[in-house]
Amino acid sequence: MQLRVTGWRCHNIRGNLREIDIDLSLTPPRWTLVQMNNGGGKTTTMSLIRAALTGQKLDAETVKGLRPEDGESMGSFELRILIDGRLHVITMYFDYGSGGHSFSTARASEADGGLLDTHALPSEVRSLITPQFAELFVFDGELARKIRSHSSDRASSAIRTLYGIDRLETLRSTIERLLDEQQSRVAAVTQARDKRHVERLNNALQAARQKLKGLEDKRALIVGDCDHAKAERDRINKEIGDRIGQNEEAASELDALEENLRKADLVILGETNELRTSLQSPFLSCPRALGRLQGLSAQLQALQLPEAATAEFFQELADGEFCVCDEKITPPIREKILTKAATFMAADESGVINSMKTLVRTTDEDPARLQQPVDTLVGRIRERHRIKQKLDAKRATYIAAGGEELTALKEQADKHEREIGRLEEQLERLDSTDTTYQLNHGLGWEQNIPKCKAHVAECDERYNTATDTHKLLLQSRIAQKVLNNIETEALSLLREKVRTATNVKLAQLVPAERLEVVRIGSALELSSRNLARKDNVSEGQSLSIAYAFLASLFESANHRLPFIIDSPAVPLDAEMRREVIKVVPELFEQTIMFVISTERQDFAEAFYGRPDARFITLVRGPDGTAEQRDGEDAFKTFQDEDDAPAQNVGEAA
Amino acid sequence: MPVPSELLDATDAVLEATNQPDEFKSRLRALIRNAAEGGVEDRDVAGLVAAIDIDSDTGA
């Protein structure tokens, strides 16, 4: 499927969007740069494009917030798109009084113009372009953070949607529905007495499923709250860091301590891994265990076990009057037992025991050997603790010196930290599979998701046995399992493909840091030249990662979509802009960029003179209107009154 | 829309590891192609499930 934006029109919308009609023609240029002043309505236009594409309902407050300052009562937004060459016009009508809105869709390819009073794009488009998916190509800058967040699952979910892997879910739910229908049919013809029993089992099953859904919903809410609290904590900590950083001496002292802490963490991680590997040897883990193993080995040696035991068994059997099967043992049979005894010895078991004996007897491992690395590690942990205490104390001193405002920020950050702790504890109660933890916290199937899932499976089993659909249930489970395995395998192949392509682009975008995506799990996991795992990246790096990932994601997908972005270069420094501009323009067949005047330098200027680029400048006019000027000259000379003339790129970022 | 080659490769790899009857394997390959084009009928899914031999293996 190919989608192109051919234009949009705003009527009576706040900002500078009172009367705007952008017409990109039926053969839109590859690159469109729309320059506006800060606060001129870039973000609003992006949100409206997303809503028009997805048909997402806006809440009343959002609609009322679109009302222009002079209090017009109605407004509208029209988006014109080509879907596989066919023109579709989606219009959103806003009633600012009630906060309501409605859609209409005109499809030019229909004989009557195909005007419908609803959002009516082709089903393939509707199923693909969900609100979450639209954020990928009508790019929400916040997404740059979300695709690196483990709880948001945006990276994997984008791959799943774009490559059609989520269609397997349709197959799975169809299997589930067919099973449910068959169970209902069988239950309907069951005898009355049995019927009550079946109903009871069905009620128990439905209650268990409902409880499971409730727990999963609760979990999603907690994850959302926790994410929010973490984002707030990080934002406040960054603000505290920025303020302390204004004092150069303090910044350098804290940076040095943080670097020491990072180094200490790396050393502890490496030594812990080595120690864990050593501990897998039973000879090293515990002196008592080694002593007992050696005692056992000596006794087995003295008693000539296990060979003696096996030989003794056959000897005793041959000496007896009757065999173990109660048959009489005659002299020829006795002779046969003794001859064939060796054939019936459990050679493999004897072999294992003998090799254990040899291993224990000949080992020169000494548990005392572990003492030295353990002592070293304990020392390292203590040293890390000291560095951390020093860092915390220094930070507290600088915060206290920063006055009431900084202290208040710290209190807010601490409050979020406590909240995160509380929420993570709740998540552990919901997620824990540790039976000891479950027991200690009195967690039953109504409180714990893994236990609840097991309970649902039990109820399902009982219900299916009662409704005689057991075979169908087993077949459905096998089919589901095969589909799950295919999905896992396909996602793994696709993740690797996207990961490799992303790293090729990242090497070009951020050459100095040598950033790499090491794994695409629920999020993008990064490493860098110096760190095996890198969680903290600058805003510019974050954006570069998002560009590289999205470009790799889209380049081999079957859908060709436009890329629409707000302020693509604002967070980037001059060097990174020059790298991004080498890569980003070639990634999509149509790119629409909303820019401000400070993005011309080192970014927008790279498009000057390109025949397939179009420049539009929206100049703020009186009464919230905007004058539309076409062409490079107007674009180059536009000066936003909000931008100080001397402002440089770094300040703008 | 065309089926991504990674999905077809994954299907082959998983089916290779099962002892399910050939009928199940060919029905599943057809369904995965049709699912990508959005054309899955209930009777095709029911046919797939019925083709499973519950004594063959655990399905993977």
In the predicted model, is pLDDT for residue A647 greater than 90? no
Catalogue the E-assigned strands of A443-557. Answer: 516-520, 524-527
Angle, vertex CA A599, rays to CA A596 and CA A602, nearest 5: 165
Listed in sequence order, the residues at least 6 apart from A7 whose beta carbon sits closer than 8 Å to its beta carbon are A21, A22, A23, A24, A25, A28, A80
**Sequence-distant contacts of B35-40: CB under 8 A, at least 24 apart:** B35/A164, B35/A167, B35/A168, B35/A170, B35/A171, B36/A164, B36/A167, B36/B1, B36/B2, B36/B3, B36/B7, B37/B1, B38/A123, B38/A124, B38/A127, B38/A167, B40/A170, B40/A171, B40/A174
- Give ranges for CATH 3.40.50.300 in chain A: 3-148+537-652
Are the CB atoms for A322 and A278 separated by under 8 Å? no
Q: Is the model's pLDDT at A249 over the cut of 70?
A: yes
So what's the pLDDT on residue A144? Answer: 67
Residue keyed to tokens 């005793």:
A316
Q: Is B34 on the interface with A (CB under 8 A)?
A: no
CA distance A7 to A614: 13
Examine the pLDDT at A411 and tell me if it is beyond 60: yes
Please indicate whether, in this complex, the C-beta atoms of A178 and B48 are within 8 angstroms of each other. Answer: no
Q: What is the pLDDT of residue A651?
A: 33
Tokens at residue A266, please? 């790396």
Give A524 or A92, the one with higher predicted confidence.
Answer: A92
Residue A280 phi, psi (nearest 5) = -70, -15
Confidence of residue A556 (pLDDT cuts 50, 70, 90): confident
Residues A568 and A606: their CA atoms lie apart, in Å, by: 13
CA A345 to chain centre: 56
Q: Which residues of B touch A492 (CB under 8 A)?
A: 10
Nearest to A171 by CA among A472, A460, A480: A480
Residue A8 has pLDDT above 90, yes or no: yes
Q: What are phi and psi of A111, to 5 degrees?
A: -60, -40
The string of pLDDT tens digits covering residues A99-121 is 999 999 998 776 666 788 899 88
> Using the beta-carbon criterion (under 8 Å), do A167 and B10 form an inter-chain contact?
no
Q: Quick one: pLDDT at residue A377?
A: 94
Mean pLDDT of the A74-100 span: 94
pLDDT in the model for residue A255: 87
Q: CB distance from B11 to chain A under 8 Å?
A: yes
Min distance B56 CA to chain A CA atoms (Å):
10
ipTM of the modeled complex: 0.95
Q: What is the DSSP string of A536-582?
A: ---HHHHHHHHHHHHHHHHHTSS-B--EEEESTTTTS-HHHHHHHHH
CB of A24 closer than 8 Å to CB of A95: no
Residues in Cβ contact with A224 at an 8 Å cutoff, skipping those fewer than 6 apart: none
Partners of A127 on chain B (C-beta within 8 Å) are 38
Contact A167 B4 (CB under 8 A): no
pLDDT (average), residues A461-471: 81
A3-148+537-652 architecture in CATH?
3-Layer(aba) Sandwich (3.40)
B-chain CB neighbours of A479 within 8 Å are 48-49, 52, 59
Looking at CA atoms only, how far is residue A591 from chain B in angstroms? 23
**pLDDT above 60 (res A133):** yes
Range with the largest mean pLDDT of A48-52, A189-193, A491-495, B3-7: A48-52
pLDDT score of B41 more than 90: no
A636 near A599, Cβ under 8 Å? Answer: no
Q: Are A75 and A15 in contact (CB under 8 A)?
A: no
More confident residue, A97 or A300: A97
pLDDT value for A653: 28
Predicted confidence (pLDDT) per residue in A162-218, tens digit: 887 878 888 899 999 999 888 888 777 666 556 778 788 889 999 999 999 999 999
The one-letter code for the residue type at B5 is S
The yes-or-no verdict on residue A368 having pLDDT over 90 is no
- Distance, CA of A287 to CA of A575 (rounded, Å): 60
For the beta carbon of residue B50, count every other beta carbon within 10 angstroms: 14
| Among A residues 26-85, those touching chain B with beta carbons less than 8 Å apart | none
pLDDT of residue A649: 34
DSSP β-ladder status, A3-13 and A524-527:
unpaired
pLDDT surpassing 70 at residue B7 = yes
Least confident of A302-306, A471-475, A500-504: A302-306
What band does A615 get if pLDDT is binned at 50, 70 and 90?
A: very high
Interface check A124 vs B, CB under 8 A: yes
pLDDT higher than 50, residue A355? yes
Span of A156-170, A401-415, B19-33 with lowest mean pLDDT: A156-170
pLDDT of residue A652: 33
d(CA A426, CA A444): 14
pLDDT at A645 over 60: no
- Give me the mean pLDDT over the A367-377 stretch: 86
Q: Smallest CA–CA separation between A557 and chain B, in Å? A: 8
Q: Does A481 touch chain B (CB under 8 A)?
A: yes
With a CB cutoff of 8 Å and minimum separation 6, the contacts of A12 are: A18, A19, A68, A72, A74, A75, A76, A94
Asked if A175 reaches chain B (Cβ–Cβ under 8 Å), the answer is yes
Partners of residue B46 in chain A, C-beta under 8 Å: 178
Q: Is the pLDDT of residue A311 over 80?
A: no
- Tokens for A248? 């150069």
Among A475-489, A521-535, A547-561, the range scoring the smallest mean pLDDT is: A521-535
Q: What is the mean pLDDT of residues A268-297?
A: 83
Task: Kindly state the tokens that stand for A108.
Answer: 């030019």
Select the residue of B35, B42, B49 nearest A479 (Cβ to Cβ).
B49
A175 contact residues in B (CB cutoff 8 A): 45, 49
| Position with higher pLDDT, A527 vs A415 | A415
Query: Radius of gyration (Cα) for chain A, nearest Å?
Result: 35
Q: What is the pLDDT of residue A401?
A: 85
| Beta pairing class for A591-595 and A626-630 | unpaired
Partners of A613 in the β-ladder: A31
Please indicate if any CB of chain A lies within 8 Å of the CB of B30.
Answer: no
Tell me, what amino acid is at A388? K
The whole-chain average pLDDT of chain A stands at 84
Shortest Cα distance from B14 to chain A (angstroms)? 6
More confident residue, A552 or A142: A552
Q: What is the DSSP string of A367-380?
A: GGGGHHHHHHHHHH
Q: What is the pLDDT of residue A348?
A: 59
Cβ of A493 under 8 Å from any chain B Cβ?
yes
Q: Could you tell me which of A306, A311, A301 has the C-alpha nearest to residue A351? A: A306
Q: Are A581 and A603 in contact (CB under 8 A)?
A: yes
A428 within 8 A of A227, measured Cβ to Cβ: no
The amino acid that residue A459 corresponds to is C
The Cα-based distances of A329 to A309, A320, A324, A607 in angstroms read 21, 7, 10, 101
Q: Are the C-beta atoms of residues A301 and A294 closer than 8 Å to each other?
A: no
Instruction: Please tell me the predicted confidence (pLDDT) of residue A307.
Output: 63
Q: Determine the pLDDT at residue A379.
A: 95
Tell me how far CA of residue A135 lies from CA of A83, A149, A154, A316, A574, in angstroms.
19, 15, 10, 80, 26
- Residues of A with CB below 8 A from B45's CB? 171, 174-175, 178
The string of DSSP codes covering A392-415 is HHHHHHHHHHT-HHHHHHHHHHHH
Banded model confidence at residue A650, pLDDT cuts 50, 70, 90: very low
Higher-pLDDT residue of A130 and A212 is A212
Which pLDDT does position A431 carry in this prediction? 95
Cβ distance of B60 and A481 shorter than 8 Å: yes
Q: Which backbone phi and psi does A125 adopt, to 5 degrees? A: -70, -45
Conformation bin of residue A591: beta by default, left when phi > 0, alpha when psi is -120 to 50:
beta
Q: Are A509 and A546 in contact (CB under 8 A)?
A: no
Cβ atoms of residues A53 and A138 within 8 Å: yes
Domain boundaries, chain B: 5-50
CA distance A431 to B9: 33
Q: Mark yes or no for CB contact B14/A482 under 8 Å.
A: yes
